């Protein structure tokens, strides 16, 4: 493995350096039918699950075939997507906010071969590479975070939990029988890289044990005042402990921190500031399920997701309880909600007491908010409730 230079000279880093140029202008990447009709679209229609047609004032039509893809993607698979775009779409494609790939063609007769091509490609293990779907009143791709593949704070894996849930709900990705779209999101810790806090259904990794304090390392690895300031509940204070010095065998006083465990909300913010305070724990870590959030302003205001299941353990590799619980929510919603009603709108209409009944979920004390002032506004201040 010989090092091959790009032309960069480490002795003169500023030589020919190019910085702050930003991304390329998007106009270089627009398919001709898009470029020609930009700003002049009249209406659209979903011809079948996964296939959209947009009509322009000029009479032009663009047909979009949407395919699911995992967020983790190798360049080998990406190159295959590019081959498909070269073969069918004059060398253009785009990605959606929810990690789907959109292949666009300018006439209807090109849709069938493109769709067949996408659906025909499978991995050696048998899964689809580019399944067509993810439109309309159905379940599209789950946006997610890194998990055990690449992050330092996760309480679960992201790609794995998403894979098992989408395996279970796969037919919903390929059809449109729901009252409205169901947006599912996954975040592997409370940092929530992604909008899981406003999703119809959210899967969230959660720690349940306070940090382990690596007393001998706290002062070496961390700025103690920053670790203290990082705690949202002021559970961390400076401390000194007497421990054996590994070099001398004598007692030595170490500058460290003490944590009031009963105040810890397990957010991991201290760990982000101080690597000597790890949280991860096989028995402590697992999943929370939230429901009823949305970002659209349609009919009702955007709303946050609510915690509906306080804890599901990390049942690797296929998280059966997670998949089963989400399936229960989806089926109850499909059965009970009115056309156009999102999960949160449905829950609010029937009442949350009915939501738990309909979804066959247990209501436990964990689901009652006790975090600061907003908690009060979630308690029931009326006699209007259902038995």
- Exactly one of 32, 58, 86, 243 binds other proteins (CB under 8 A); that residue is 86
| Cβ 250 to other proteins shortest distance, Å | 29
Tell me whether residue 130 or residue 352 sits nearer to other proteins (CB atom): 130
17 binds other proteins (CB under 8 A): yes
| CA pair distance 216, 68, nearest whole angstrom | 48
DSSP 285-337: -EEEEEE--B---SSS--B--EEEEEEEE--TTT-HHHHHHHHHHHHHHHHHP
| Cβ 248 to other proteins shortest distance, Å | 27
| CA pair distance 181, 46, nearest whole angstrom | 13
Among positions 136-165, residues that touch other proteins (CB under 8 A) are 136-138, 143, 145-146, 148-154, 157, 159-160, 163-164
CA 313-317-323 angle, to 5 degrees, is: 60
336 binds other proteins (CB under 8 A): no
Strands 201-206 and 286-291: antiparallel
DSSP 237-256: EEEEEEEE-TTT-SEEEEEE
* Closest C-alpha among 217, 232, 210, 191 to residue 275: 217
| CA pair distance 230, 148, nearest whole angstrom | 24
Tell me whether residue 83 or residue 242 sits nearer to other proteins (CB atom): 83
Q: Which helix (H) or strand (E) holds 165?
A: helix 158-168
Tell me whether residue 3 or residue 385 sits nearer to other proteins (CB atom): 3
| CA pair distance 143, 68, nearest whole angstrom | 11
Q: Which two tokens stand for residue 234?
A: 């002021």
Neighbour count for residue 85 (Cβ, 10 Å): 20
- Exactly one of 107, 127, 261, 364 binds other proteins (CB under 8 A); that residue is 127
Strands 61-67 and 101-105: antiparallel
Q: Which stretch binds other proteins (CB under 8 A): 43-51, 211-219, 245-253, 254-262?
A: 43-51
| Cβ 138 to other proteins shortest distance, Å | 7
Cα–Cα distances in Å, from 141 out to 162, 334, 369? 9, 18, 30
| Cβ-contact 154, 205 below 8 angstroms | yes
- Exactly one of 16, 381, 382, 384 binds other proteins (CB under 8 A); that residue is 16
Total of residues contacting other proteins (CB under 8 A): 142
68 binds other proteins (CB under 8 A): yes
Tell me whether residue 116 or residue 244 sits nearer to other proteins (CB atom): 116
- Exactly one of 114, 190, 343, 361 binds other proteins (CB under 8 A); that residue is 190
236 binds other proteins (CB under 8 A): no
Q: Which residues of 158-187 are buried (b: 16+ CB within 10 A; e: fewer)?
A: bbbbbbbbbebbbebbbbbebbbbbbbbbb
376 binds other proteins (CB under 8 A): no
- Exactly one of 106, 209, 300, 350 binds other proteins (CB under 8 A); that residue is 300
263 binds other proteins (CB under 8 A): no
| Cβ 161 to other proteins shortest distance, Å | 10
Q: Which two tokens stand for residue 198?
A: 């406003």
**Nearest-10 crossing angle of helices 343-350, 352-359:** 110
Q: Which two tokens stand for residue 53?
A: 């047609």
- Exactly one of 74, 382, 383, 384 binds other proteins (CB under 8 A); that residue is 74
Tell me whether residue 73 or residue 258 sits nearer to other proteins (CB atom): 73
105 binds other proteins (CB under 8 A): no
12 binds other proteins (CB under 8 A): no
212 binds other proteins (CB under 8 A): no
73 binds other proteins (CB under 8 A): yes
167 binds other proteins (CB under 8 A): yes
Among positions 267-286, residues that touch other proteins (CB under 8 A) are 267, 269, 275, 280-282, 285
| Cβ 41 to other proteins shortest distance, Å | 4
- Exactly one of 295, 324, 368, 380 binds other proteins (CB under 8 A); that residue is 295
- Exactly one of 108, 316, 320, 380 binds other proteins (CB under 8 A); that residue is 316
């Amino acid at each position: 493995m010989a090092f091959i230079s790009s032309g960069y000279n480490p002795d003169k880093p500023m030589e020919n350096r190019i910085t702050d140029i930003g991304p390329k202008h998007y106009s270089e990447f627009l398919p001709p039918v898009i470029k020609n009709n930009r700003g002049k679209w009249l209406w659209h229609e979903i011809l079948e699950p996964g296939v959209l047609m947009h009509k322009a004032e000029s009479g032009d039509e663009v047909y979009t075939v949407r395919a699911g893809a995992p967020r983790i993607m190798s360049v080998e698979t990406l190159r295959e997507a590019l081959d498909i775009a070269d073969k069918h779409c004059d060398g253009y494609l785009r990605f959606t906010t929810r990690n789907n790939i959109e292949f666009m063609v300018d006439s209807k007769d090109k849709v069938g071969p493109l769709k067949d091509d996408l659906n025909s490609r499978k991995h050696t293990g048998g899964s689809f590479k580019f399944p067509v779907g993810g439109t309309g009143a159905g379940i599209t791709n789950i946006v997610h975070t890194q998990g055990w593949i690449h992050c330092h704070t996760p309480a679960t894996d992201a790609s794995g939990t998403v894979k098992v849930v989408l395996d279970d709900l796969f037919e919903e990705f390929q059809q449109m029988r729901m009252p409205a779209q169901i947006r599912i999101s996954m975040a592997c810790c409370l940092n929530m890289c992604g909008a899981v806090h406003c999703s119809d259904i959210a899967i969230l990794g959660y720690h349940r044990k306070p940090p382990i304090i690596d007393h001998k390392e706290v002062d070496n690895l961390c700025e103690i005042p920053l670790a203290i300031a990082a705690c949202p509940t002021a559970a961390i204070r400076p401390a000194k402990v007497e421990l054996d010095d590994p070099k001398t065998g004598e007692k030595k006083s170490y500058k460290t921190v003490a944590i009031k465990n009963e105040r810890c909300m397990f957010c991991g913010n201290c760990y982000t500031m101080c690597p000597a305070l790890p949280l991860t724990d096989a028995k402590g870590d697992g999943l929370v399920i939230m429901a009823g959030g949305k970002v659209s302003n349609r009919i009702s205001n955007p709303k946050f997701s609510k915690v509906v299941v306080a804890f599901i353990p990390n049942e690797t590799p296929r998280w059966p309880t997670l998949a089963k619980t989400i399936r229960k929510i989806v089926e109850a919603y499909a059965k009970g909600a009115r056309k156009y009603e999102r999960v949160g709108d449905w829950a609010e209409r029937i009442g949350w007491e009915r939501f738990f009944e309909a979804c066959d979920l247990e209501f436990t004390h964990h689901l009652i908010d006790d975090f600061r002032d907003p908690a009060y506004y979630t308690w029931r201040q009326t006699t209007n409730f259902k038995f």
